[in-house]
Amino acid sequence: MQFTFPNTLKYSTIHVINTYQDMTVAVHWFPGHMHKTLKEVKETLPSVDILIEVLDARIPYSSENPEIAKIRGDTPCLKILNKSDLADPIITAQWQASLENERGIQTMTTTTDNVGKSKQIIDKIRSVCAQKNASVKNINAMIIGIPNVGKSTLINILAERTIAKTGNEPAVTRNLQRINLGSGIVLYDTPGVLWPKLANPNTGYRLAASGAVKDTAMEYDDVGFFAADYLIKAYPELLKARFKLDEIPDTEIEFLEMAAKKRGAVMSGGRVNLHKICEVLLNELMSGKIGQITLETPEMLVAEKQLMAEEEAKKAAKKAQRKAQFKTGSMTPDKKERKEKREQKRQEQSARMKAENKRNK
């Protein structure tokens, strides 16, 4: 993941990052199997009774696949906020309320180490699909999720056997699988997929900070600065406790310098090793060692979507202006005036020739 990182990140009172014009985000990690998976999902979805989307409770919006929302139609959807033990429980409840405002959406929280809670997914599937006569047909469920969200671990718990390969890194599952869970439920497992274009620039940072993309596809320094800037404003007390600091500075660079000295991330001559301390910060954020942290709130996303809409409107206006310039030509007023005079002379000459032809006849 390659980022152009702005010189300064500015937050409002709800920690909204207003850097859309300064930041460009390009995810350089969309393997061919992800494109194939999206195609298979579209082909299989018409025969599915319920869609299960596994989200990362720390980034419920950023871990939602917008391509799925486009093709879901009226299929009921159960959104599972997994890794809820790593997320801020107050904000998780806010996200559940927000998501359930959407038509056909139900939610539940799980943790990959709570087998009993995960098995409640089966009861939820039966409840949502209660109208289907299990004696006649199986309930067809499809489970989807971004890489490294814990989907494969959940499947193994539901199946009560090891079916899906698990690993603490993205893109372990590569092929669509059909799994018979027994008791009249068939589960279609899809590989973890991202999407080729991120509409919200902050989404790329959040995906990287939560471990949804391989570390070879991201710049630790860029993502570390993003995480530090958010955390010193949203969770200053947790940072103080984890890094044993007396106070939290105002800027991310000051915090990283202080944290580096506490953790020994210092090079010869006393220079701070920013790459090393960013790596430490991100690893401890991903593992939950800093504390229960959520990287986005419903309130933040309302503001960010408004900024995105404004930016799209600006782009549309610029596109329309370029189109108009193309039609009229990118001329100065003087050139435009001379062109109009030439056109007028041609019209006058054409009129005179027509008049002469009439007299000659």
Residue 283 placed within a domain:
no
- 42 lies in which domain range? 31-189
Q: What share of the chain in percent tops pLDDT 90?
A: 38
Residue 224 placed within a domain:
no
Assess whether pLDDT exceeds 90 at residue 357. Answer: no
The pTM (predicted TM-score) of the whole model is: 0.77
- Given a contact cutoff of 8 angstroms between Cβ atoms, the answer to whether 110 and 118 are in contact is yes
Assess whether pLDDT exceeds 60 at residue 353. Answer: yes
Domain CATH code at residue 88: 3.40.50.300
Across all residues in the chain, what is the average pLDDT?
A: 81
- Per-residue confidence (pLDDT) for residue 215, from 0 to 100: 63
Backbone angles phi, psi at 210, to 5 degrees: -95, -5
Of 189, 212, 247, the domain-final residue: 189
Residue 161 placed within a domain:
yes
- Per-residue confidence (pLDDT) for residue 251, from 0 to 100: 96
317 or 133, which is more confident? 317
Q: Distances from the Cα of 325 to the Cαs of 51, 63, 151, 294, 316, in angstroms?
A: 47, 40, 51, 46, 14
Calpha distance 102→74 (Å, rounded): 11
Assess whether pLDDT exceeds 50 at residue 263. Answer: yes
Residue 205 placed within a domain:
no
Pure H helices in 187-297: 201-210, 220-234, 236-243, 252-263, 274-287
Assess whether pLDDT exceeds 70 at residue 352. Answer: yes
334 or 173, which is more confident? 334
Of 189, 209, 241, the domain-final residue: 189
pLDDT confidence tier of residue 26, bands split at 50, 70 and 90: very low
- Per-residue confidence (pLDDT) for residue 19, from 0 to 100: 38
pLDDT in tens, 146-193: 888 888 888 888 888 777 655 544 444 556 788 888 878 899 988 777
pLDDT in tens, 267-309: 988 899 999 999 999 999 999 999 999 999 999 998 888 888 8
> 332 by DSSP, 3-state: which?
coil
Residues 6+ apart with CB under 8 A from 285: 209, 210, 227, 231, 293
Residue 172 placed within a domain:
yes
Of 139, 158, 189, the domain-final residue: 189
Burial per residue of 262-277, b for 16 or more beta-carbon CB atoms within 10 angstroms, e otherwise? ebebeeeeeebbbebb
Residue 164 placed within a domain:
yes
**CB half-sphere exposure, 228, CA atoms < 13 A:** 28
Number of domains observed in the structure of the chain: 2
Residue 9 placed within a domain:
no
Residue 340 placed within a domain:
yes
